[in-house]
Structure 1
Amino acid sequence: MKQFIFLVMLLWGLNSYSQNYESNYKADICACIEAQENTQQLPDKIYNACFTKHMTTYAAIIDAQIKEEDKTKKFIAGQQVRRDLNQKFKYDLAYVCDAYIDIIEGKKQHALQQLRSRTIDSSKIEKLNENVAMVPHYSSYYNRGQYYYQIGDLNNAERDIKKSIQENPLNQDGVLSLQESLLLALIYEGQKRYSEAIAIYDAVNAKAIHPSVELLKAIAYRKSKGYVLKPKVVLKEGVEPVVAAKEKIEKPPVKATRRSSQRVPAPNTEQNNTTSKRTRTATRTGTSTVAEPANKQAPTKSKDSTKNLRGLFKLD
């Protein structure tokens, strides 16, 4: 009897664990993201790495819930479940995991700050105004509205995007283009009109769910409930920044090279005396005398060149 009760409790525990594995799986992914919060990687890359890392814990539970005898069909069904979970957790985590939304919103705010920290290019605004005047097409209004959003002029951005939606012939029966809809929703978020932004996201996902749009909706919902991006703490309290000093590269001392002094041979006094005597004698007699070298060889006679050529080329 005790063994039966233990078996029932074990099966009940396994069943409840398998039913709640999604929440446990998301908690593990969130903890993994928290450990990599200060990394410079993209949010999608961090999320996919953590999802794959913890799949090893829940793969057996996922496959056990697939009731299929054929191994090939079971494998295909298991792959589909994994893809669906990957897409679902991608926006579900934004509702419960602050570290995940911090990374996404941090990247977005950093990009906007870089755009809005630049000096406003008045010549570009004039060019966009000229395009609207010359070609009053919906794309001209959209381009100008997009630039207004980038520089933080949300009121003018809203005006131009609404004009673009009005002039766009593809927007019929209340169905707006995805590009214009998402930009208008982001403008509403910047104006803290979160309910209007969420309404746009719901309209976009009315026919089919876009995971990226659901993620934007989750972020807008969190902001409407008071979520604020936490500022990054670069240094811990009481820790001074360490500035790396440049290492001095000491060059080896250059050794001074001494000029090699060559000894000058002492003059031969005997030879000089002999030469001077000959010079005085030649001066008295009026003739010039040239000293000849001691080891003078007699000139050799050159052979006949014609004879040499005949011997070389066998000429007759």
Structure 2
Amino acid sequence: MKHLLILPLLFFSLNGYSQNYKENYKADICACLETKKNTLQTANKIFDACFAKQMTTYASLIEAEIKEEDKTQKFIVGQKIRRELHQKLKYELVYSCNAYFDIIEQKKQDVLQQYRSKKIDSTRIERLNESVAMQPHYSNYFNRGQFYYFIGDLKKAEQDVKKSIQENPLSQSHLATAQESLLLAMIYEEQKKYSEAIAIYDTINSKTINPSVALLRAIVFRKSNGYALKPKVPVENNNSTSASNSKPAEKAKNKPANTSRTRTAQTNRNRARAKKEQNRTINRAKQKPKDSTKPLRGLFKLDG
């Protein structure tokens, strides 16, 4: 009788695990993301790496769902399930995984801080103003609004992006103005107008869910509920500092007094080092400046 009771319990236990493996999968990916918070990779690459790593645990459960007998068809269905799961978890995880939110938000803030810490290019602003004055086209309003967003002038950025949407002859089509709308939503996010930003994301996703837009929405939703990125705390190691400081002192005790020959050699080395650094600075100045807006442009691209 005991054996008869064990079998149904075992069946329901396995069946329940199979049905809930997606939640377990998300939890395992989140744990993996926690270990990679301080890596230099992009948020996409970090997520992809954790998704693939945890797939080794859940691949058999995915295959168990497929009813196809033909091996080729079974493979095709299995790949489709994996793609859909990858896209879905990519934005669903933001709602529940603090580590994932932190990774995405920190990298975004790093890019913005890198750009906004530089001196404002007044010549660039003048050129953008001239373009709008000569050709008040919606694309020129957008370009200027995007630049204002990069430098942190959110009020002017909002005005230009709204004007861009207004002047676009296809403004009735939300897909035609998706790029402008996404930028406006990000401006609202920085202004803490979270409900307005969420409304834009919901409008874009009203017909078909775009994973990238859904991810941005999830981030704003978390912020609207009070979750915020924790500020970076510089790590100080007093022991290592004191130890490193004590070593030169100990060496100084045992080191004999410098002779005039030693001082001359040291002076020559310092001069050579200064000359090398000067040449390096000149070479850097001659190089073409990098486009620091490039890393942020991916935030405005929609997935195909």
Q: Which band: TM-score by shorter chain?
A: 0.7 to 0.9
Q: How many residues align structurally?
A: 249
Distance 2:139 2:48 in 1: 36
Aligned ranges for residues 101-180 of structure 1 at < 5 Å? 101-172=101-172, 176-180=176-180
**How far off is 1:243 after superposition?**
10
Partner residue, 1:51:
51
1:1-316 maps to which residues of 2 (within 5 A)?
1-172=1-172, 176-235=176-235, 238=238
Task: Give the match for residue 290 of structure 1.
Answer: none
Task: For residue 77 of structure 1, report the CA deviation from its aligned partner.
Answer: 0.7
In structure 2, the CA distance between the partners of 1:175 and 1:51, relative to structure 1 (3 Å rule), is: closer
State the 1:237 CA deviation: 6.8
- Which residue number in structure 2 is paired with residue 253 of structure 1? none
User: Greater CA radius of gyration, 1 or 2?
Assistant: 1
CA RMSD of aligned residues (A): 2.3
Please tell me the residue identity of whatever aligns with 1:110.
D
* CA-CA distance at 1:72 after TM superposition: 1.6
Partners of 1:72 and 1:242 lie apart in 2 by 65
CA contact (8 A) 1:144 1:160 kept: yes
Distance 1:147 1:240, change over 3 A: farther
Letter in 1 for 2:137: H
State the Cα distance separating 1:210 from its structure 2 match.
0.8
* CA separation of 1:60 and 1:186: change in aligned 2, threshold 3 A: same
In the alignment, the residues of structure 2 paired with residue 75 and residue 127 of structure 1 have an alpha-carbon distance, to the nearest angstrom, of 55
Shift of 1:67: 1.4
Q: Quote the offset at 1:198 in angstroms.
A: 0.6
CA distance in 1, matches of 2:92, 2:160: 33
Unpaired segments ≥5 residues, structure 1: 248-316
Q: How far apart in 1 are the matches of 2:43 and 2:211?
A: 14
**C-alpha contact (below 8 Å) 1:26/1:93 kept by paired residues:** yes
Matched to 2:10, the amino acid is L
Check conservation: 1:185, 1:196, Cα contact below 8 A.
yes
Sort the Cα spacing of 1:134 and 1:215 in 2 relative to 1 into closer, same or farther, 3 A: same
Counterpart AA for 1:231: P
Q: What amino acid is aligned across from residue 100 of structure 1 in structure 2?
A: Y
Give distance in 1, aligned partners of 2:67 and 2:208.
27
**For 2:24 and 2:242, how far apart are their aligned partners in 1?**
41
Deviation of 1:4 after TM superposition, in Å, equals 1.3
Instruction: Give % identity.
Output: 62
- Give the drift of 1:55: 0.8
Q: What is the distance in 2 between the residues matched to 1:214 and 1:123?
A: 37
String of CA shifts for 1:140-190, please: whole Å, max 9, x gaps.
111111111111111110000010001111222566511101000000001
* Conserved 8 A contact 2:33-2:47: yes
The 2-side partners of 1:165 and 1:66 are apart by 46
Which letter maps to 2:98? D
Over 3 Å counting, the alpha-carbon distance change for 1:38 and 1:121 in structure 2 is same
- The code of the aligned residue for 2:192 comes to K
CA offset at residue 231 of structure 1?
2.1
The alpha carbon displacement at 1:234 in A equals 3.8
1:109 counterpart letter in structure 2: Q
Give unmatched runs, 5+ long, in structure 2: 249-304
Question: Quick one: structure 1 residues 232 and 241, their matched pair in 2 at CA, closer, same or farther if it must change by over 3 Å?
Answer: farther
Structure 1 letter corresponding to 2:206? A
| Alpha-carbon contact 1:165-1:176 (below 8 Å) kept | no
Tell me the alpha carbon deviations over residues 263-305 of structure 1, each in whole angstroms, 9 at most, x when there is no partner.
xxxxxxxxxxxxxxxxxxxxxxxxxxxxxxxxxxxxxxxxxxx
Any idea what SS the aligned residue of 1:41 has? coil
Counterpart-to-counterpart distance in 2, 1:41 and 1:183: 24
Letter in 1 for 2:172: Q
- Cα deviation digits, residues 122-141 of structure 1 (max 9, x gap): 22212211111111111111
Are the equivalent residues in 2 in contact too, given 1:25–1:58 (CA < 8 A)? Answer: yes
Kindly indicate whether structure 1 or structure 2 has the higher relative contact order, using CA contacts under 8 Å at least 6 residues apart: 2
